Structures are given as C-alpha cells and as structure tokens.
Structure 1
Amino acid sequence: MSPQSESGGGEWAARLEPLRTEPARAAILTDVDGTLAPIVERAEDAAVPAAAREALAALSERYGLVGCISGRRAEEARRLVGLDSLAYAGNHGLELLLPGDEAPRPDPSIAGREGEAAAFLAGLDGERLRAAGLRQEDKGPIQALHWRGAVDEAAAESCAHEVANEGGRAGLEPRWGRKVLELRPVGGGGKDGAIASLLAEDGVDRAVYAGDDRTDLDAFRRLRELREEGQLVAGVCVGVLSAEAPAELAEESDVTVAGLDGWLEILEWLAR
C-alpha cells in the first residue's frame, strides 16, 4: 500500500524510485527534531520513536549512505537516534561523525572562534533573558536560546530578536528555528555544507533529504544545485509539514508530507 502524503503517494514514489532501484548508489538523509523525533518543550526530553529507528537501521543495511543532519551536537544526535551505523552531521554541519568515529570532526573554518557565541551571551544580562522566558542551550560553538513553553512566548520571542540584533552587531550569525534562536560564528557549517560533505562519498549519485524548518532550506538548495549541476541523477527534497513550519518549506520542497508519520512511511517504503 502506498503511504499518503500532502503531495500524494504516487508523486513522491515516482521521484524516489531511482533511489529504491539503485540503493547502493543512494543516500537517505534526514533532519532529526521535528522530522524523526517529535518536537518537545525541552530538547533533552526528545525521543526518536522505535519505528523510525528500525526503519533507519534497515535502510543502513541496504543503501550506500544513511545519515542525519541535525542542529544538535553530533554525538548527541547519535545518542538520540541510537544507531552507530549512520553518519551524523551535527551543529548544522559544524561537526561530522561518521560510522566508526569515536569523536566528531570539527569544521576547521571556525578554528579559534569556537567560544565567540558563548562569550557574547555571558556578557549579557542573564537575569533579563531568564525573566523573558529564554533558556540557554550550550552547543559549543553554537549557543541556542529557546522559548517553547515560556509563560509569554511572544514576549520571549521579542527579547530573542533583541539578542539577535545585538549578536549580529557583535559579529555573530543569528539563525532562527521553531521557537529557538541560535547564535554562531560567521562562516563554516550550514546544512548545505553538510549535504555536500556527506554526498562526497564515492559512488553516491542520488539522494533524498527531509526536513521541517528554515535551516533545512539550506540543505534543499544545495541538493537542488547538485542535481542541476549533474552531480546527482536524482535529488529529492521532502518537506515535513506542521503548524509551525515556515511557508517557504512547502514552496521549496519537491514533495511534502503531513508530519513525522508521513516521512516514516516513506522511510519504510524505501526499506522494503
């Protein structure tokens, strides 16, 4: 039975058939939070459902490359997904953790600047941030401010915009996600870079990537560029839709699915 999606099972099945027929030459790449694991109030409470883990495990035995590209640190993403057989690009591409690696490989382009975002936040009025409902998450070179579940989410987001403006003036790059602001050193990383690094694998010439948020659009654009340049014979961008998804997600997707269950059905179809 073909799974159902916003775009229709027949449409995405036709697009993904080149991957399914040549699995050794194909890459299955996915975001984690909001794509594999449900979004929760606190990131540390997230969990990847057993069915998704089982599908990924089956895919890793059949396809040339299976990997996760996450805003989490690479080692944390590996722990969350629970599979050592996958490749992990963490911190939006600033870290790469391949199967068999004991430690992630950092992006050399930010060498010497790993502490800039943390130093900037340390110089702000922490009580002001906490009073606004912002919670800090330390991800090494990336510092995140979350406001999901704040008493007044609108006020917390307004404060986050003030911090983003101050961070930009301090030479940092603000990135927005679903009720989260991330501050990072300028240059390096990015899910677009992660896509390029992972797809440099010998023999891989077709790929799919699924994501649910603004940072995933960078991955979509790079996948589309590789396809248009002829480096990939097939490159499919899957938008995982939700009430919080940015409008651009549907606009820049080749196909869309209704939430995590829609993407899981595609993964299970690919694994058959």
Structure 2
Amino acid sequence: MPVPDLAHSVRPLTQDPRSAAIFCDIDGTLAPIVEHPSQARVPTQVAERLRDLAHRYARVACVSGRRAVDARGLVSVDGIDYAGLHGAEILRAGEDRPQLAPSVAEWEGRVRDFTATCDNPTLHALQVRVEDKGPIVAFHWRDVPDEEGAHAFLRSLAQRASEAGFATHWGRKVLEIRPPVEISKAQAVRDMVLETRPKVALYGGDDATDLDAFAALDALVAEGHLDDAVRVGVRSAEGPEEIVRRADLVVDGVEGFAEVLEQLAKSS
C-alpha cells in the first residue's frame, strides 16, 4: 500500500539530489529481521535502487551495527559508504579496508578477553549466540528455546560488564558489550554530513540506535549545517515506539522503506 504524502515528505531531497544525502540502517530497514544475522538478505531490487541513488545523490551510506565489510557484503553495493559497528568504523566507496576509530581499536583485546570469560555451560545450554565483531561482541537470544531465561542471564552478564568498566547496549533481542568510549550512529552521520556538506539529509531506521542518528540530524539543522532533514521511522512489532514518535515520515517495515527509496529515485 503506498505511503500517503510520500512524494511530499521526500521533496526536500528530490528537488536537488546533488545537494542531498541519504543514510539508512540495514537490518529491519533494508533487510527483514531474521533468526540469525547470517540469514539476512537485502532484496535485489532494493540493492539496485541504492546503486542508482549513489549516482544521483551527494552521498548514500548504510549505518549498521554489523562490521562494515559484512554490511557491504550483505547489501552488495560497492558505490556507497558503510559505517559499521554503530559508527565505530567506516568503509568508504572504492576502498577495501574500513577505518576504525583509534579510541575503539585500543579496547578490542580487552573486550574479547572479557567476553571469553562469559563462554560457559549456561550460555551454551540457553543457546545464546555470540557474534564477535572485533571491538564489540554481541549476544543474541532471538528464538532460543527459553528467551526469558536467556534474557535474565544476559542481564546479569551486562551488570558484570558494567562493573568491569565496559559499556553495554541493548537492541532487538541482542546485548552488546562495547568499549567505554563514544560509539553511536549519531557520530557517524554527523561526520559524513560535515565531510560532504549536503543541504538536506534523510535517515531511515527502525531501532533504538537509529534514534541517535535522528538526534544528529536535529543538531545539524539547529547548528546550520543542514537546511532541512527528513527522519524516516520504520515501524515494526519489536521496534521502540519512539521511532514512530520522532519520525517525520513513518513507513511499515522494509517494504515501506523500499517505497521511500523508489520515491527518492523520482528526482526532479
């Protein structure tokens, strides 16, 4: 079903694509949420549309909790940028290796050492999946036999991590142990906007970490770095209600965001 007033909502970008930037999340925005991250797929039509937009807009980038190289492998579009690990690293179009923030890199070994101590029989019995993302380690409990028990176990693990000096972040049925330094999609979006200097920017996302990117756009407009911004909230059953409340445009699921991309392609 077409989104009402979609063309009007994205008009600030489509009227002058060369002065506009497009940023978006991947999982839950471009690709449906699945039981295991490795099973995620970005529809071919969506990837093709991103490839087209990269030729027409000032900048197109995916901002993901995945590692940047994994994000690029999932989306399969070489002509755009990828900010990985929630903004801790960036892989620019045409480059082979991502750039990791030095403040994050120096904690990588300590995060791995701590999370290695969490590998115990209880974790295995609960079938919690551990994802090593370098300086960030994620614990997934989606669709495990005892989700309530797994969540309770991970709450205790998060407390231990905090007491040990690490940062913790909760997402959609995932706990991340992170370095205790600033890591956010807000910083990634801010850096890319200040580097490219578009007049208008759009960000689309579905989860709590995407609210940070919304806040970055708010600040960039308030500071005069952007003339306008469009925040697209991708509504889902598991997503935070604040995504809908803070969005300028709300769409339903990945199909709804695909319609946004299609409309962005209809530039003047």
Give TM-score scaled by structure 2 length: 0.96
Q: Structure 2 matches for 1:78-89, cutoff 5 A? A: 78-89=72-83
Name the CA shift for 1:250/1:42 in 2 (closer, same or farther; >3 Å). Answer: same
Distance in 2 of aligned mates of 1:95 and 1:111? 10
Q: Which residue of 2 aligns with 1:39?
A: 33
Q: Structure 2 matches for 1:127-206, cutoff 5 A? A: 127-206=121-200
| Aligned: 1:261 with 2:259 | no
Distance in 2 of aligned mates of 1:239 and 1:211? 6
Q: Which residue of 2 aligns with 1:226?
A: 220
Q: Give the unaligned 5+ runs of structure 2.
A: none
Residues 109-118 or 14-23, more deviating: 109-118
Aligned positions, number:
266
1:16-65 deviations in whole A, cap 9, x for unaligned? 21110110011111100010001111101111001110110111111010
SS of the residue aligned with 2:53?
Answer: helix
Deviation (angstroms), 1:154: 1.4
Deviation (angstroms), 1:143: 0.1
Distance in 1 of aligned mates of 2:87 and 2:257? 22
Distance in 2 of aligned mates of 1:189 and 1:245? 20
Q: Is the 8 A contact 2:205 2:233 kept in 1?
A: yes
SS of the residue aligned with 1:201?
Answer: helix
Which one of the candidate residues 4, 10, 15 is aligned to 2:2? Answer: 4
SS of the residue aligned with 1:34?
Answer: coil
Deviation (angstroms), 1:133: 2.7
Distance in 2 of aligned mates of 1:70 and 1:111? 18
Distance in 1 of aligned mates of 2:103 and 2:38? 28
SS of the residue aligned with 2:181?
Answer: coil
Q: Which residue of 1 aligns with 2:12?
A: 18
Which one of the candidate residues 79, 103, 109 is aligned to 1:115? Answer: 109
Runs of 4+ aligned residues of structure 1 deviating over 3 Å after TM superposition are none
Deviation (angstroms), 1:104: 0.1
Q: Is the 8 A contact 2:59 2:196 kept in 1?
A: no
SS of the residue aligned with 1:171?
Answer: coil
1:162-196 deviations in whole A, cap 9, x for unaligned? 11111111111111111111110011331011101
Q: Give the unaligned 5+ runs of structure 1.
A: none
Distance in 1 of aligned mates of 2:173 and 2:113? 22
SS of the residue aligned with 1:37?
Answer: coil
Residues 64-73 or 13-22, more deviating: 13-22
Deviation (angstroms), 1:125: 4.7
Distance in 2 of aligned mates of 1:124 and 1:189? 23
Deviation (angstroms), 1:203: 3.7
1:196-238 deviations in whole A, cap 9, x for unaligned? 1111233412100001111111111111111122211111111
Give TM-score scaled by structure 1 length: 0.94
- Aligned-CA RMSD value: 1.3
Which one of the candidate residues 85, 89, 106 is aligned to 1:91? Answer: 85
Q: Which residue of 2 aligns with 1:55?
A: 49
SS of the residue aligned with 2:23?
Answer: strand
Letter in 1 for 2:23: L
| Aligned: 1:27 with 2:21 | yes
SS of the residue aligned with 1:196?
Answer: helix
Q: Is the 8 A contact 1:134 1:160 kept in 2?
A: no
